[in-house]
Amino acid sequence: MTPRLLLGCIADDFTGATDLANNLVRAGMRAIQTIGIPTEPLTADVEVVVIALKSRTIPVADAVAQSVAALHWLQAQGAQQIYFKYCSTFDSTREGNIGPVTEALMQAMGTDFTIATPAFPDNGRTVFKGHLFVGDVLLNESGMQHHPLTPMTDPNLVRVMQSQCVSAVGLIDFKTVAQGETAIRARIEALKSLGCRIAVVDALSNDDLLRLGPALRDMPLLTAGSGVAIGLPANFGLQPTPTTSALPRAQGMQAVIAGSCSAATQKQVAHFKAQGLPTLALDPSRLMQDDAALTRAVTEALAWAKSQLTHPANSQTPVLIYSTASPETVKATQAQYGVQVVGDRVEHALASIAQGLRQLGVAQLIVAGGETSGACVQALGIRQLQIGMQIDPGVPWCFAHSDAGGLHITLKSGNFGSEDFFTKAFHQLATAVPL
C-alpha cells in the first residue's frame, strides 16, 4: 500500500523536530521523525514525517540547499502540505536562516504566500502585535539577547523577518485571529493585494492557534514553531486518539544518560539519587587526559552498569550515568580545557557509553541534553524514530526499530521535564497500552 503522507515537515534542529512531532501526535497524527533526509522512499504507514536537519546556524546557502532537498523528498512521498519548523524563540541572525529558507521553499513550491509564527503558548511563547514574548518579558529581555550564536535583540518579528527576506512581510494581528477563519482569510487576501508574501501571526493562547488552523487548510507551505501544529490534524479530519501514540511493548533493561548541565537536569539527577537508585558520575577532567583515559573511563562505566543491571536484586532498576555538574564546576572545567573541546569529549564518552549499554541489553533509554542526544542517536546508528506518548511537554517516548528487537528512547532537552522525569518516564512506559 502506498503510504498516505498528509504533512511533510522540515525542522531546523533535532530536539525541535521531536517537539513538533509530539504536538502532531497528540493532536491525532501518526508520525515518524527521521535523522537527516532519508535515502529511501517512505515505508512506514504514517501521516507525518518530520525531517530533522541541523540547519539553524549553518551558512545560509547550506541551510537553503538542505531544506530544499528535504522538500523534494517529502514531495516525492506525496506530502499534501509542507511545514518548516524553527525555534519558538525565532533563533536566527540578520542573514537568516528562517527568512532565506522560507523564501527558497516558497520559490521551489511555486507558492505566493505563507505565515511565520513561533507562538507556543503551552511553553510561554506568545506573539502580540507582532512582538514575541517569552513568559512575561519581551524576547530581547528574556536572555536570548545574549545567545552566543543567534542573539535576539529585536522582539518585533515583522521587522526581524523583513530584515531576512526580499519579500514584503505583514501582520495578522490578534484581533483578526480572535474573529476566526473567515476574518483571517480576508486579512490574507488584503495582505496579498498590498504585495505581502509572508505574514507574522499573533497568537496568545492555544485557542488562537486552533482558530488559525482552519484558515491554513489550503496553504501549501507553513512556517512556524511547534505551536501551530495543534490546529492542523483537524484539517485532515483527524482527532486525538490514544492509538496514535501507541508504541510496541517495552522490554529490556533501563538506563539514563545525562550530559546536560541545565537547571532542570540537575534537579532530575538529584531526584534520581534521592530515590536510592544506582548512579555513576563521569569526571570530565579524566576524559581530557588522552584517548586511553577516555576509553578506560567508558569501559569502567560499562562494567559498573553491567554489575548493576545484572544483579538479581536489581531487576527492572534503571541506572544513571551522568556528567551533569553545577555551573561553577562546569565553568572551571571549561576555563581549563576550552568550552568546545570539553563538550565534544564528554559527548564522545557518553555516546560510547550509549553504544555499550545497548550491547548489554538496555532497550529503554533516556538521554538528557540536546547535543548529548544528537551524539547518542548518531552513535546508535538511529535513522528513524516512531513518536509515542508525551512524558512532559515537548518530550515524547520514541521507538527505533532494529533487528535487535528495537529501542525505546526519549531525548530530553536539558531544561525540559519535571523533577521526577527519569523515574516517571520508565513508569509511564511500563504502564502504557502497547501497539
Residues that bind ligand ADP (CB under 6 A): 259-262, 265, 284, 323, 325, 330, 333-334, 342-343, 346-347, 369-372, 413-414
Q: Which is nearer to ligand ADP, 99 or 343 (CB)?
A: 343
Nearer to ligand ADP, 181 or 371 (CB): 371
The alpha carbon of residue 209 and the mean position of all alpha carbons in its chain are separated, in whole angstroms, by: 19
Asked whether 20 and 378 are in contact (CB, 8 A), the reply is no
29 or 395: CB nearest ligand ADP: 395
In angstroms, what is the minimal distance from the CB of 207 to ligand ADP? 30
Q: 261 with 324: CB under 8 angstroms? A: yes
Nearer residue to ligand ADP within complex by CB, 87 or 177: 87
- Whose Cβ is closer to ligand ADP: residue 100's or residue 396's? 396
Q: Is residue 88 within 8 Å of residue 227, measured between CB atoms? A: yes
Q: How many CB atoms lie within 10 A of CB 381?
A: 11
Q: How far apart are CA 167 and CA 188, in angstroms?
A: 15
Minimum gap (Å) between residue 297 Cβ and ligand ADP: 13
E strand spans, 300-422: 319-322, 362-368, 384-392, 395-400, 407-412
d(CA 240, CA 28): 4
- Tally of residues, the chain: 435
Q: Which residues share a beta bridge with 222?
A: 83
- 43 vs 340, which CB is nearer to ligand ADP? 340
Nearest residue (CB) to ligand ADP, 199 versus 258:
258
CB 93 within 8 Å of CB 160 = no
Q: How far is the CB of 404 from ligand ADP (least distance, A)?
A: 25
Closer CB to ligand ADP, residue 96 or residue 284? 284
Q: Are strands 48-52 and 31-35 parallel, antiparallel or unpaired?
A: parallel
Q: What is the DSSP track for 130-184? A: TEEEETTEEGGGTTGGG-SSS-----BHHHHHHHH-SSEEEEE-HHHHHH-HHHH
CB of 293 to ligand ADP, least distance (A): 15
Integer Cα distance of 23 and 389 in angstroms: 10
What interhelical angle do 339-360 and 327-337 show, nearest 10?
110
Comparing CB distances to ligand ADP, the nearer of 252 and 369 is: 369
Going along 267-383, which residue ranges are E strands? Answer: 279-281, 319-322, 362-368
CB of 345 to ligand ADP, least distance (A): 7
Compute CA distances 281 → 68, 289, 308, 320, 325, whole Å: 43, 17, 14, 8, 9
CA-to-CA dists, residue 423 to 45, 319, 349, 365, angstroms: 31, 10, 24, 12
* 369 CA to centre of own chain: 11
To ligand ADP, the closest distance from the beta carbon of 316 in angstroms equals 27
Question: Which is nearer to ligand ADP, 105 or 391 (by Cβ)?
Answer: 391
For residue 14, the one-letter residue type is: F
As measured in angstroms, the least distance from the Cβ of 276 to ligand ADP is 23
Q: State the minimum distance, in angstroms, from the CB of residue 24 to ligand ADP.
A: 22
Minimum Å gap between C-beta 429 and ligand ADP is: 22
- Spatial separation of the C-alpha atoms in residues 131 and 116, rounded to whole Å: 12
8 A C-beta contact, residue 55 and residue 97: yes
> Cβ of residue 377: shortest distance to ligand ADP, in angstroms?
12
What's the N-to-C CA distance of the chain in angstroms? 20
Q: Which residue has the closest beta carbon to ligand ADP?
A: 414
Q: How far is the CB of 20 from ligand ADP (least distance, A)?
A: 17
Residue 125 or 187 having the CB closest to ligand ADP: 125
